[in-house]
Amino acid sequence: MGVVYDQGMPGVRRLIFGTHPRRTAVRVLVLAGVSVVTFGWILIPVRAEGVSMMPTYRSGSLNLVNRLAFVMRPPERGEIVAIRLAGPHVVYIKRVVGLPGERVSIDNGIVRVNGRPLDEPYVRNRSPWKLDDTILGADEYFLVGDNRGMREEEHDFGRANRSRIIGKVVF
pLDDT 10s digits, 143-159? 999 998 888 888 888 99
3-state secondary structure of 12: helix
- Over residues 30-63, the pLDDT tens digits come to 888 888 877 777 888 888 888 888 888 888 888 9
Residue of 35, 59, 61, 94 marked catalytic: 94
Q: What is the pTM of this model?
A: 0.79
Domain ranges for the chain, please list them: 11-40, 45-169
45-169 belongs to CATH 2.10.109.10? yes
Distance CA 65, CA 166 (A): 8
Task: Examine the residue annotation and report whether 35 is marked as an active-site residue of this protein.
Answer: no
Task: Examine the residue annotation and report whether 168 is marked as an active-site residue of this protein.
Answer: no
